[in-house]
Amino acid sequence: MIHKSSVVHNNAKICSDVEIGPFCSIGENVKIGEKCKLHSHINIQGDVTIGSNTEIFPFASIGSVPQDLKYKGEDTKVIIGSSCKIREYVTINKGTKGGGRVTMIGNNCLMMIGTHIAHDCLIGNNVIFANHSTLAGHVILKDNVVVGALSAIHQFSKIGEGAMIGGMSGVTADVVPYSTVVGNRAKLSGLNILGLKRRNIEKKEISELRKVYKYIFHNNQNTLRERVINMKQKEFKEQTIQIFLEFLSEDSDRSFTLP
């Protein structure tokens, strides 16, 4: 059902059971999956694909040109997964030629009021953004990340799986999986134990992850990279530890957030 006051381009691909409320503007290259609901006063332009069961609240703007002076009108896109909730005043910019041409958001993500997702960001599944959290361009967030209210993440930073960014934090470096960071500028404050428990990670595995975390970040022996190599040689079977160590082994554009 499309409200008579909304403007939907004839070439837009809208599933028949999508609800579009009053005063929405939907562009030519927009594709909206089944059972989506757009409340009112929503602007979606450019090459945008939105998965099924996604709900968008008033005054959201999706697919607008990136806030990047290098952008010269090239064809880029936004891809949003299924079962997302996009609250009021959220802005999601499309990608750039130099950044991979796509801004991508996974499934079951919640973007609370005023969240900004800049160009070329890659967001995993089950990610939560609290009110007015902000991502600069080229940021990568893995699955199950929580970004606290009024926080900002620097461009090219990477946030590991299950990490939690404390409210009002300024993140300028990569954040390792399953950790918590807080402050301006943000510092590593420990493991995200609450998040691990919510995902039903066994106590024994959490205990082993704690030991690895403590060895790597609270140990003055050798360099950080050497400590990571030492831990990888142990060939842990726990998936959380494997993900944790693999993240630390990858190349980083921003170094790592430290205690």
Catalytic (active-site) positions: 119-120, 137
Instruction: Using DSSP, state whether 100 is helix, strand or coil.
Output: coil
Which pairs count as long-range contacts for 211-219, CB under 8 Å and 24+ apart, including other chains?
212/236, 212/241, 212/244, 212/245, 213/179, 213/244, 216/248, 217/188, 217/258, 217/259, 218/259
**pLDDT over 90 at 228, yes or no:** yes
pTM, 2 dp: 0.96
Higher pLDDT, 257 or 221: 257
Segments making up each domain of the chain, as ranges: 7-138, 196-249
Across the range 242-251, mean pLDDT stands at 95
Cα 181 to Cα 184: distance, rounded to the nearest angstrom:
10
pLDDT tens string 144-189: 999 999 999 999 999 999 999 999 999 999 999 999 999 999 999 9
**pLDDT over 90 at 253, yes or no:** no
DSSP one-letter code for 99? G
pLDDT tens string 19-44: 999 999 999 999 999 999 999 999 99
**pLDDT over 90 at 252, yes or no:** no
CATH of 7-138, one of 2.160.10.10, 2.30.40.10, 3.30.470.10, 2.60.40.1930: 2.160.10.10
Quote the pLDDT of residue 20: 98
Across the range 114-126, mean pLDDT stands at 98
DSSP one-letter code for 196? H
Contact criterion met (CB below 8 Å) for 78 and 95: yes
Q: What is the dihedral of CA 212, 249, 196, 86, to 10 degrees?
A: 160
Q: Which amino acid is at 148?
A: G
Q: Nearest to residue 142, comparing CAs of 97, 101, 195? A: 195
- Per the prediction, the chain carries an average pLDDT of 97
Cα 93 to Cα 106: distance, rounded to the nearest angstrom:
15
Cα 198 to Cα 205: distance, rounded to the nearest angstrom:
14
User: Can you say whether residue 214 is alpha, beta or left, with left for phi > 0 and alpha for psi between -120 and 50 degrees?
Assistant: alpha
pLDDT band for position 251 (50/70/90)?
confident
Quote the pLDDT of residue 32: 98
